Amino acid sequence: MPLSPNPTPEHSLPPGVSVRRRAIVALLAVEDGTAGSQIAVREALGTPPELAGPDRGLVTELVYATLRHQRVLDRWLAHACAHGLCGLDTEVLIALRVGACQLAYLPRVPAFAAVDATVEAAKGLVAGRAVGFVHGVLRGLARRRPEPGATLPQAGSPTSLPDWIALRSRRLAAICGLDADALHAAFDQPAPLHLHVPAGDAELVWAELAAAGVAVAELDGVAVPGVRCADGGGVFATSAFARRAVLAQDAASAAVVRWLAPAPGARTADVAAGAGVKALALAAAGARVTAIDLDGPKLADAAALARQAGHPLDATIAGDASTDLGLDREAWDAVLVDAPCSGLGTLRRRPEIRHRRRAADLPRHHALQARMLAAASDLVRPGGHLVYAVCSFAEEEGPLVVGRFLAAHPGFVRDPGGATWVRPLLDAAGDLRTHPLLAGMDAFYAARLQRSH
């Protein structure tokens, strides 16, 4: 079908239409795999930002909420389309999801705006004849718009976690003594913004932020050193953020670094350092950090970040950390393996993960993680510490990796350390388990090990 002639350029659209057009374009990029949600939203917002604050917020909310609730929305939509969703053009399906998402989950958006502005936004993106189809389907859904908070009619289960993820979420709930339904629901909510002051007197930085009008609050029910929860994104415009005195870092990620707790001057390897958020926090704590990653450009970012913050890294090494990289053996005081993983624990920040990952990915992750942990363990000196961490709650990527490692490496034992703040985060085995019902944290797993001989 031909596209509508001459689609109107985004900047000349009315703001309400432009918002929805940008959301649809971002979701198309996520759907075809050319971008993850974070990059797609950033590109949709434009550089320099072309939309006013509330409109920017709505683009972000539409993209994230649509991805988060996609499975439920598709079930709702399937009942509203005479021939189901199979065979629909991707552009049509995504325009329908964006419209349905507003009707289902954004009660403050009037039905006429959800329908009409979405249809206007779809013009030029969907084939000409499909515009009427999108309009008809959304008008039908608007007549059956649920009360705020009510379950969508004919959409089945209100959770949008695929079964294999829901199963692992139930296991996490059982291990941590949580209500499984509440945990599922929490994975469908946006994540809060946590701030981490990696070095120095955090109180001074909180006071500086307060003076700049940024409100921060203690975490609820847990106290990770140097971490607070922010109320809104004002922090990103502050000088404290610009000079990296404070990082936007989930409390779970900060907890992993704080748990390793290298002494000042400790020779520390950050294996799988990525773009270096944890490496910076380790260096800021006074450790001499060598960052290792397969991805050279990410390491360059890590080095630049640490330099900019005034805590330069000792070295960066690009290489495959599941192999012997020729580093000094048994010579490092502290080693962090922040292993590549499914990322299930960050579902709220990257909601597309639930659609992209498969249970069949887990054995592959497990095998790589096991090799990386074994290779990294060769670096640790007797008495030194090794933290293995993943942003996942799949047993296959966490305790099963560590359990097998310990069985094969009798020189290592679990050593959760004596810090009192970490105790509420530990499970019966002494491993760290975080989840969204605990101060809104990402769902991480970590084990802290010590080489005894």
Ligand X SMILES: C[S@@+](CC[C@H](N)C(=O)[O-])C[C@H]1O[C@@H](n2cnc3c(N)ncnc32)[C@H](O)[C@@H]1O
Which residues here bind ligand X, judged by CB under 6 A?
272-278, 293-295, 298, 320-322, 338, 340
Phi, psi of 421 (to 5 degrees): -60, -30
| Min dist. Cβ of residue 4 to ligand X (A) | 42
SS3 151: coil
Which CB sits closer to ligand X, 92 or 282?
282
Q: Which two three-digit tokens encode residue 426?
A: 């530990």
Which CB sits closer to ligand X, 199 or 275?
275
Which CB sits closer to ligand X, 178 or 195?
195
Which CB sits closer to ligand X, 178 or 252?
252
Strands (E), 160-263: 193-196, 216-217, 227-230, 247-248
**Nearest-angstrom CA–CA distance, 163 and 343:** 16
| Min dist. Cβ of residue 323 to ligand X (A) | 8
CA atoms within 13 A of residue 353's CA, in its CB half-sphere: 19
> Which residue shows structure tokens 């409390």?
251
Which CB sits closer to ligand X, 321 or 402?
321
| Min dist. Cβ of residue 33 to ligand X (A) | 18
CA distances from 209 to 216, 241, 406 (A): 8, 9, 44
**Nearest-angstrom CA–CA distance, 118 and 94:** 10
51 Cα distance to chain centroid: 25
| Min dist. Cβ of residue 228 to ligand X (A) | 19
Which CB sits closer to ligand X, 121 or 257?
257
Strands 315-318 and 288-293: parallel
| Min dist. Cβ of residue 372 to ligand X (A) | 6
| Min dist. Cβ of residue 339 to ligand X (A) | 6
